[in-house]
Structures are given as C-alpha cells and as structure tokens.
Structure 1
C-alpha cells in the first residue's frame, strides 16, 4: 500500500507546512494598506495560493488548478478591488514565478500575495521518502531538505522578491506561510510514526522561518497561518488539510475549501 500511494503522488504536491514565527507580519514602517476599492491586486504563488485541494477549479487554468474557493478569489469577491489578476499555479517553484506569473505586475499594482518555497525545498520528495522508506531514511532526507533551506532557498526567494519589487515598486507584498501538517499524538493510528510527523513539522517550521526572514529583509509583510490552522491539522479530527485523497490524489496534503476560507482568507485579510 505504501508504494501505491507514492506512485500516484503528483509532483505538484506542496509538502512544506507550517510557520515558525507565530503571528508575524513584518512590513516597512511607512508601508500602509490602501483601501480595498482602490487596490490593483495580483495573486502569485504555488498550489497553496492557487487553491489545490479546495475543488471547483477554473477549467481555463489547466494544470495550474486555480480554484474559485482559493483565498485570493475569496478576498477579491469580498473587497471588490479595482483589478484582480490570479496567476498562482500548482507546482510552482521560485523560477516559475519569475518566468510565468509576473506579467500582470506594474507600477500601479497596490497589493501582491504569494506563497512559494515548498516545492523548491523538495518537500514532495521528503514525503515520498518518508512514506516509502524507513524512519531513519526519512529523517535523513529531512536533514537534506533543511540543508537546502540554509544554503539555496534564501537566494531563490531573494530573486523572486527582487523581481516583484522591480515590476511593482509601490505594492504591499504579503508573503503567506504554510500550515503545520500534523497534530502529534492525535487521532491517526496508521501511516507515519509520530517521530516522522514531528520531524516533518519541524522541517516545515524551519522552511517558513527562512521565508519569513527573507520577506522581512525585503520589507514585505509575512502572514503566518499556524494559529489559524491550530486544531485543524491532519490527525486532529477536524482537519482543514487533506491527508491522502484517494478520489483526487493531487489534492493530498493541501488545504480543503474550509482551510482556504477559514485559515488563509482571514490571515491574508488581516495583513492586506
């Protein structure tokens, strides 16, 4: 069973989870959020921003799987910005954002949201290793991912954030983190060990702490979803995250529609 789960996994799974800095929104002191009605808003990023896992995908978005239940769409519907461009895409890495998503940005852009970095850090492969192989091999692969977060990810994030700044110098940029995947000691009775789950949570914290620092160093706001998802992790009994979704395997380990509306939307709304 463990092998069949892995073979089916999509490479677009974003398995980076949770944020280490609880509640941090860091911005330049003179940066102020404009009124929603005057906002030109662009939503960038990966599957956590495109809404994979929430269903109701726009067929025109193809493999990017942009959902009408994703937090950027929900925010735009509630706030009626003067313009809204949604280019976030499932499976995106930092290089994909630069190559394919920045077109709508310009000097008049007021607000940008982005989640990015989990695919760069290889958390899909981390989960593949942890589910298919031994606990010790899992922990070793997690250590490799943490090393990547130290050595390579900061430069990749700097490149994306600088590209956004160059195209939209006046925009308020909100960088969103990822929720913690697992409730340790929760209701799950099979699958990964609690030691593996804890190590994945810790590695995700590590990823998001690095992301938060790079955002702050560029004067961008960082929005943590950790508290919003507390009590709604996998194994909590009230999860806002898919575990393995046999009906649509590509949605595994992504927020449900409730995770987008109850977790990401209020977190972004508070920071926008």
Structure 2
C-alpha cells in the first residue's frame, strides 16, 4: 500500500514538473473557457479561409483565437469577434457568452473607433498634407475620446466575466520606414501613420493596466514584417479586395498575434 502511494505521488510530481517545463499547468487545456472578442484583427480579416456562417464578420479559421483554441483545446470556445466592430458593438453584441465561468478573454478594439480605415483611405487617395491632417484628427480622438470608450468596454467585460484573465492585443505599425516601397505614400505620410499606431498602443496599454488586464503588444513580432519590409505580414492597399487592405495575413496571425496571446496567457 505504501509503495502504491509512493508511486502515485512520484507520478504526480513528474506530471507537474513536465507541465512546468512545458509552460503549462496540468489543468491548462481542460480548464479554460475562452471567449475571443474584438474587431477584424481578431476575426482574422486578411487571413483568408473565412467561415461562411460568420457572414460579414469574416471570422477566419486562421485567426489567432482559432489557432489558440486548436493548440490548447479549451473546455469551451466562443468567437463573436466581428469585422468592423467598434467599442459599442462589443458592448452591445459580443458579450453574451461571458459569465463567471469564463477564464480567458482576448480582444483587439479601438482602431475602428479612431477611424483608421477612413484615415488610410484618405492617405491613399489624397495629398500628403491631407493625409497628415486626417491622421492628426485620429490622434486627437485617440488621446481625448478613446480612453473613455475603452474603459466602458473593459468595465463591461469585467462585470460579465469577473474571474477571467483578459488579454488585450494591440495593433502593429503599418510601415517599415526607409523600406523597399518605391511608389505609394510619401515617407512623411508613412511616418505619421506609424506615429498614430504607436499612440494607440500607448493609450490602450495605459487603460489596460488601470483595469488590471494584460496588454499584448504585437509591434515587436511584426518588426521586420511591416509593409515595405519585403517580408510583410500585412496587406498593403488591395483595390481588388479593399476590405483586406492593412490587415494581417495568415502569417501575421500565426507569427504575430498568436504567440503574443500564448505568451501572455
């Protein structure tokens, strides 16, 4: 009897040690109830392989939430992230599956509120001066109005899922300055766009910290893979599929977003 208990104890220690070496806990896969919220960067626009049932939300089987689900086999998985979503859309349409049993939430949000799609369109179609003026409008919104919008989303998530670990993922810089692009936007326009992305990351990270959530900065893994890098994980403007412009490719989801979520969970 003592030998049996000793063997069982040793097996338990071995399993625990193995889990520690692998960076997981013994109940990691079985215990998670994961909900993936957010906008097109979370739904996977640009990665292809869209679930037809998701309609205009364009949820991709190559999006980082699905990659995480496939790798970790959580006990439950809900994926309401939707292309075009703003903070109010998350609050009104995406929180239905959150509850006290939810243990992991991921979200990217704020880019649509700040009008990034319109700003990028303005930069592509109009002059450098018009582009920079529009980017400055977006930056003013990010500094002045967006913090309160983010607070409202984060408060709603915590209210619905009081026990969840919440990971907020940011956005990459769009351009490698001094890169391989010889046509298109001016270097000043590209620099202005990057500065707006950096401001969005700074503001978002600040609000995330104030709520006790975890911020996932995707700029480091995307470094060297911006537009004009020669190895881009982001679509440039695509006139034949305009909705995928300035969104991560499948490689951007798997090499940029997925490892950031995995490391912060």
Does TM, normalized by the shorter one, top 0.5?
Answer: yes
Normalised TM-score (structure 1): 0.86
Counterparts of 2:44 and 2:240, CA distance in 1: 17
Normalised TM-score (structure 2): 0.89
Counterparts of 1:36 and 1:270, CA distance in 2: 15
Report the alpha carbon displacement of residue 212 of structure 1 after superposing the two structures with TM: 0.6
The structure 1 segments of at least 4 consecutive aligned residues displaced by more than 3 Å after TM superposition are none
Aligned: 1:189 with 2:182 = yes
The aligned residue for residue 154 of structure 2 is 161
Could you say if the C-alpha distance between residues 247 and 141 of structure 1 is closer, same or farther in structure 2, counting changes exceeding 3 Å? closer
The aligned residue for residue 201 of structure 2 is 208
Report the alpha carbon displacement of residue 128 of structure 1 after superposing the two structures with TM: 1.7
Counterparts of 1:149 and 1:245, CA distance in 2: 26
Aligned: 1:172 with 2:165 = yes
Which of 241, 251, 255 pairs up with 2:244? 251
The aligned residue for residue 261 of structure 1 is 254
The aligned residue for residue 84 of structure 2 is 91
Paired residues in the alignment total 241
From the two aligned structures, give the one with the greater helix fraction: 2
Listed as ranges, the gaps of 5+ residues in structure 2 are 1-23
What SS class does the counterpart of residue 49 from structure 1 fall into?
helix
Counterparts of 1:36 and 1:51, CA distance in 2: 23
Report the alpha carbon displacement of residue 160 of structure 1 after superposing the two structures with TM: 0.3
Counterparts of 1:149 and 1:244, CA distance in 2: 23
The aligned residue for residue 140 of structure 1 is 133
Report the alpha carbon displacement of residue 57 of structure 1 after superposing the two structures with TM: 0.3
Which of 104, 109, 114 pairs up with 1:116? 109
Counterparts of 2:188 and 2:234, CA distance in 1: 20
The aligned residue for residue 57 of structure 2 is 64
Could you say if the C-alpha distance between residues 266 and 214 of structure 1 is closer, same or farther in structure 2, counting changes exceeding 3 Å? same
Counterparts of 2:161 and 2:127, CA distance in 1: 46
The aligned residue for residue 24 of structure 1 is none
The aligned residue for residue 16 of structure 1 is none
The aligned residue for residue 46 of structure 1 is 39
For the aligned residues, what is the CA RMSD? 1.3
Listed as ranges, the gaps of 5+ residues in structure 1 are 1-31
Report the alpha carbon displacement of residue 260 of structure 1 after superposing the two structures with TM: 0.4
> Once the two structures are superposed, what CA deviation does each residue of 1:37-72 show, in whole Å capped at 9, x if it has no partner?
200000000000000000000000000000000000
> Once the two structures are superposed, what CA deviation does each residue of 1:174-208 show, in whole Å capped at 9, x if it has no partner?
00001111001111011100110001000110011
The aligned residue for residue 100 of structure 1 is 93
